[in-house]
Structure 1
Amino acid sequence: MATYQRAMVALFHDMMHKEVEVYVDDIICKSKSEGEHIENLRKLFERLRKYSLKLNPTKCSFGVKSGRVLGFIVSQKGIEVDPEKLTATCEPIFKLLRKSQAVRWNDDCQRAFESIKQYLTKPPILMPPVSGRPLLMYLTVLDNSMGCVLAQHDESGRKEQAIYYLSKKFTECETRYSLLERTCCALAWASRRLRQYMLSHTTWLISKMDPIKYIFEKPILTGRIARWQVLLSEYDIVYVTRKAIKGSALADYLASQPIEKTESMNQEFPDEGIMSLSLEEPAKGDIWTLVFDGASNALGHGIGVILVSPDGDFTPITARLCFDCTNNIAEYEACAMGLQAALERKVKILEVFGDSALVIHQLKEEWETRDSKLVPYKEYIQRMAEQFERIDFYHIPREDNRLADALSTLSSMFHISGKDQPIIKIESRDQPIHCCAVEVEQDGKPWYHDIKVYIQKREYPIDASENDKRTLRRLAMGFFLDGDVLYKRNHDMVLLRCVEGKEAEMILKEVHEGSFGTHANGHAMARKILRAGYFWMTMETDCRAYVRKCHKCQIYADNINAPPNPLNVLSAPWPFSIVTRTVVLRFIKKELVCRYGLPSKIITDNATNLNNKMMTEMCSEFKIKHHTSSPYRPKMNGAVEAANKNIKKIIQKMAVLPVEVEIPSIRIMAESKLKESEWIQARYDQLNLIEEKRLAAICHGQLYQKRLMKAYAKKVRPRHFQEGDLVLKKILPIQKDHRGKWTPNYEGPFVVKKAFSGGALILTNMDGNDLPLSVNSDAVKKYYA
């Protein structure tokens, strides 16, 4: 039966729990509408025809609204007990109701009556807890979810009565915890939800691991472990081990079928707000409140706004900024978006709060706005402020603006894609709220046109302010006009000829890669052009931009050693002595597919025993996607190599030399005197005491990984790549090149076809052909053309 069920799961794995439900040889095709039902039936019949499966027509029913499944009746009303299952219990009483049957109350009727009365007086429903009896908490923790059942013994002490059911799907951050930390997180979350029950009772915790010992006996407490310890310290929780666990089946089911809505752990302490009292002023009619904040970090830019109505209703608004900006611009963007939302709701009186002292004081006209990029934002917000009857701006500390700060940080780090369904709707803003500041304006005139006109005619440009005129006069003092040629007077009184755009491009090309060009860097090029007697205002910036786009300079550049992505620590697997392709296939089938079901994707390294014809055929048979890790990426396989190194050291120390047998050493003599029973007992003692050492090793390994990740993160210099970017790929050492030491360090350019979150890239050449192997982002760099 189990083999048949696994076969059915393999055939209908993509349709189960969606269009069909399969249990051994029973198949149910379900839908919500008639048109959808026909489409689902067509899809089911095509799958049956594909694998040559046949149905028994006498056992098939179509278009029914209810049916019997595993002893129950399933319909629109829900799941009900099949009346036929009650026939055996109620049959003696049913006989008395027949007309031709004499009414004789016998022992069978009495037993049936007692059974029915017992069922009706003690139904299997949730019961309230009874004071004085301990509670039973069954806790099951999986990789992505958890389940919990709170129960209590009845008066007899044998039967358990359910009190409450809980299930939770872990967030993406919580799934990266270790199994022990996930158990602690599940216990803390369940105790918060069941606080009204657990405060007045002793709770017996039944689970596979003991989180109480880990939390309260850990020598070094991290941030979340310390918080969990404080949260659980108010409960009387005792960990017990039981051989026959009755409620664990329900907990396992709840963990395997969690609520799809992910709920993050509330880190605030219970009743924390009661500890402080503050006097609030009464409501002031139609006054609305606006709290805003902006966030800028290495992952992006985001803004968050909280709009509070006079009745106390909160409206959170957040957006991700898809353009580069400073933190002050993000603050202005958040304020402007909040004012737009207030105007859409026809708010007349508004109080605006923000933790940016610069933005608040500039909007209140207390500070001068000197940054030219912030001037358009300030003017735009002032125009919107005129549409309110009254608007006031107030500065608040950052500690009082946590909610808006959390929204802005969330939107800056949240990656929006088609498959994600976030709880909070995050907008994506591609353009600034007002306008992009224009840095360069092309008018066909050389850069020194205004200076030359001033020297010739003493005239200023049209619409020039007093500050612009003052700056123009100061610049003109360093220039000299000879006929129509303008010269720049250097500090050592050497005249440098001023050149325009096209002439500057010719000079850059000749100095960098001409007859006497040495492909120097930008600063050296600028100094060389100055010694040649030429000048233009943006000379050093143009030199650096030209060097950056030079193809030869890019492919012969030094290797970039700074990592582009944070370190992802991997745990070392159990070693194998000989791993052939047959062993690999047997392991995947027996230990992965038969135990956990069909995976959608398998990631391996580039070894031949993992990449062969047999592996390809197996993945094609089970419809599994096979991906390989990036080559020449030690961090992908570092944990395995480290484990192999430690195993070699252990084996070397445990080996017994032949000479030690003939001439016994101290350790050989000590072990030879031990009896076999004593030797076995010593090994049992080691196994009994190994749990403490194992927990200590886990703690030590976690702390070491955190220190390693912290030290590694200091060296990270983020380099982000997107689809369509031109990149250069580092030339791998196995490639042979006749140029020897003159071989460039990079080759390309290539086009990024697909970029993954962990840093892996799939590249194509300029003709669109995919490269045979993927590459990590630390082996590529951007190509500038």
Structure 2
Amino acid sequence: MEEAETSFQEIKTRLAELPTLTAPKSGEPLLVYLAASERTVSAVLMVERNGVQTPIYYISRTLADAETRYFTLEKLVSSLVQTARRLRRYFQGHPIHVFTNFRLQNVLSKPELSGRLAKWAIELGEHAIEYKPRPTIKGQVLADFIAKIPQEKEEECKKEIEPPVDQRKNEVWKLFTDGASNDEGAGAGLRITNLEGQHFTYAIRLEFKSTNNEAEYEALLAGLRIAKKLEAQNLEAHVDSMLVANQIEGAYDAKDNKMASYLAQAKMLMTTFTTCKVKHIRRSENKQADALSKLASVRFEHLAKDVRIEVLKTPSTMNREIFVCSTAETNWMTPIILYLERGILPEKKAEAQKIRHKALNYTIQDGILYRRQGALAIPEMGN
């Protein structure tokens, strides 16, 4: 009897130590903490009142065999997705603050995002989720919960979210471009190479009237944009147009308004690199880019399979001019830009959810709004 009474008292003591679950009030911000181990993921939903954090709901799930091979960051995002699905009414009716020292928001907003992470990002985008650094842990239960992520896995996450330092900052990429215009149309060809011997070739058809000089500029501008997306820091561009090379070097003046616009656009893009030079070469030294531009100006059917084909429907100079004009006006891009740059959302809940969902398809680079398409971001223009 004495042993039974002792065991009963121990159980009562342990139950008394467990935190009491509570219910949230309408519109009250809710806190989420995430944890992941080799075979399980967990989450706790809490509310903070008067400096005291009280749990609302605990969720724990055993991972399937395939899920155990996820990276730790993927497990944490999976835990958040499962929590949002199971506690949907809480996520839809309250602002959600996810406290984590792992940069989940950075991972979910990458332009090159694909696969399951892309699907999870879209699913989470409908909720008002804000990611914050994890504060000092309050309470032993929560401390034990967070401790489920072992130290070596925290180091693994850091390696996943912190890209390795580029040891080849002085690497010079080489760009070869050429433009062609004839009775059947206009096209641009370009080839980009790095010191590792990788080659990137592109053929671009210009679906607007373009002179040969304009096509040469379009080829150069496209090459500069793509080189930037390939994260080239030092670029050496080779063009067989003496006019383009001399205008950029300052030997020739751009008296025509259109040429002046192209020149300004080229110089602006060149400043985005650590170093960027434009050199004039003979046409015989630029045969590959020349062939690509001629093929693109005629038709696409005979292009090689490894050639990337892009269609420009408007001149590149229009993008810059329209963007400058639209900065002082309010249009459909304004709420998306405000959300991406400052986190500002419309007051109406439905409109806010719509903007959050739509913003997943866009990104801001150098103050310009781009629409994501595959691994590339295409600049948007106002109406």
**Normalised TM-score (structure 1):** 0.19
- The structure in which a higher percent of residues are strand is 2
When Rg is computed on C-alpha atoms for both structures, the one with the higher figure is: 1
Using CA pairs under 8 Å that are at least 6 residues apart, name the structure with larger relative contact order, 1 or 2. 2
